[in-house]
Structure 1
């Protein structure tokens, strides 16, 4: 019985070995895997940088009392939009009206004194010419007239000062924007300089964002080396805003400021874009995403994401030579653009790249290309940068 079992085991083992040998013999005769191959071309690829940003008012103006007195009333709705020159507050004008009236009377008094001084000067001059009066008397008359003229000027200046104080009792909006809460209730006694409210100017608004210093340096370097075209400096870039729900803001802006120093804590460079905001859709404090448009990478190579492989030594792709033999090509990636990647080094125009079926490919093994004229379609740029 033992002999029979041993013999049976030997037969099974022999059969398995025989099948393995036949499979190994047939492996070299298996057809090469079918793969999709494209011929790479260089092209101009739009490059879009995207950053998180925050909206701030272009101006924050504090409205303060320029004269003291009782606050009689507020003439605006808190949080409402106001135009430049709109009435905001009324301060009790009674004291200042009285000061204006007094100043006007002083001007009239000074003017009357000036008229009298001029008549006295004319009489003294006539008498002096006839020899009926001394030169000293004429000199005194001239001095009196000059003093009266100075007194008129002083009175008129006092009137202007009083009128300004009266005007300041009516507080108007210095700029257009949105008002904050009232800081002082009606009936309060104000002192000069007391804060009444604040106005945020929101048309236009600023969108602040920060870029990594290395990325900012890369952009400058690419512009200087003419590998990016379309703008001469950062202020020539157009800025597009995307809201949290994916909707795009209907207005575009421009970069108007870039810091000349690097934040030592974050390693970033602060920049600012000016955005039109006629309908107040952008509010101070709002977080958005900013897209920087206007840069184009010239003579670039763009490969589809599906062609990219990751190995112990880094990223690589498979290329095919003239004999349809696959080879590993280590590459360096510049940046991702939509579903593709800009290649920094490792590939050139004319290389044949395997884009589909890469999992079946072995280095040095033959492949069967099923498409060789898809380079233009596969490398077509998509203008949305993923940063």
Structure 2
């Protein structure tokens, strides 16, 4: 009898030449025993293949979205000089953690010290001139009251005091500016963070108006992880959220990071930014998450895999990953159906898979089935290798259960 070839299965392999004598001997043996080939006899029929099954039941399963991301500092700043001069000394080690206000560079302070001294002298002179003008006005007041001096002389004395006060304010401003320049001769860290490679060394000339960039710093606690969501996926997720196929937790997405060695970073972060527009160059929506990074294990520029958690499918049909097979026409599973004799038999069923999910533990080991199965179907999980063609008789056993051992043969 010719068995039609099912498109989801490869053709049965031909028996090697060495096996032909045994194959031919079986019908002869049955004939010698008075039986026709295929006729049921006492213990001669092959027993049904034992398989383990799971019954498909709708249930809520958590869904993860995975993307490629890159670590960045939560703040990144440039260390620049506010004054012009020669770098006298570098006061930090490249790549180290730095505290806010820590001294990083010493610019030659001698010119600024001289400017400060001159400004202080001008201020002292302005104070002296103001004091003299006030004394002159004090001496003239009795004469002004007695109308013993001209009005012009009185006005000149009053104006001299006002001019001296203005000159003192200008001198004080020059002294303050000189003091600031003196203070800025020591370049300090603007924040806590990690400092990079120095761009200027001892003896280099820096200009406050030109090339004043000395180094860069990044604040890595918390750290940011930046990634992009494809435009098509963004639209699909929003559509499924609107239809109820997908449900999001009240707190939104939580974020886990997978490092390059496959380990999961211990801190859980949160999504703190999602762009409202797509990048026209890449067709992706920019997104960003923030994670605590107290020990600096996440370094700016590091590539990681980003897991967004917090979504779930409320009524998903899920089967173990190993039960889903790949055929020439796509994915399929075996379900327990009925053979021609009405007994359980293996029946192939094409399926369309959706999300890859975690059934138990830390490993993703389940498929969400979008099409092809319904609640109550019994899917064969283990024992598929012993099913050689559709309709093979099977003995279904619940996954994890063991069938009873066969009874011992009676002694004759």
Residue 354 (structure 1) aligned with residue 396 (structure 2): no
SS at 2:289 equivalent: strand
CA RMSD of aligned residues (A): 3.3
Distance 1:220 1:356 in 2: 37
Conserved 8 A contact 2:330-2:350: yes
Q: 1:49 aligns with which of 65, 68, 71?
A: 65
1:278-335 superposed Cα distances (whole Å, 9 cap, x missing partner): 2122222322222222222212221112332444553333444697566554432112
Q: 2:354 aligns with which of 311, 334, 359?
A: 334
Over 3 Å counting, the alpha-carbon distance change for 1:248 and 1:263 in structure 2 is same
Q: Please name the residue that 1:40 is paired with.
A: 56
Over 3 Å counting, the alpha-carbon distance change for 1:312 and 1:200 in structure 2 is same
Q: 1:155 aligns with which of 171, 175, 186?
A: 171
1:201-240 superposed Cα distances (whole Å, 9 cap, x missing partner): 322322222333322333333333444334358xx32222
Q: 1:261-340 to 2 correspondence within 5 Å?
A: 261-264=277-280, 266-320=282-336, 324=344, 327-337=347-357, 338-340=364-366
Report the structure, 1 or 2, having the larger helix content.
1
Q: 1:1-387 to 2 correspondence within 5 Å?
A: 22-24=36-38, 33-192=49-208, 193-231=211-249, 236-264=252-280, 266-320=282-336, 324=344, 327-337=347-357, 338-358=364-384, 360=387, 367-371=394-398
Distance 1:203 1:34 in 2: 56
SS at 2:36 equivalent: helix
- Per the TM alignment, residue 364 of structure 1 is displaced from its structure 2 partner at its CA by 6.7
Distance 1:274 1:135 in 2: 74
Number of residues of Structure 1 aligned to a counterpart in Structure 2: 356
130-139 or 47-56, which deviates more: 130-139
Unaligned runs of 5+ in 1: 1-11, 375-387
- Per the TM alignment, residue 170 of structure 1 is displaced from its structure 2 partner at its CA by 1.0
SS at 2:170 equivalent: helix
Conserved 8 A contact 1:39-1:373: no
- Per the TM alignment, residue 156 of structure 1 is displaced from its structure 2 partner at its CA by 1.0
Over 3 Å counting, the alpha-carbon distance change for 1:137 and 1:231 in structure 2 is farther
Conserved 8 A contact 2:97-2:194: yes
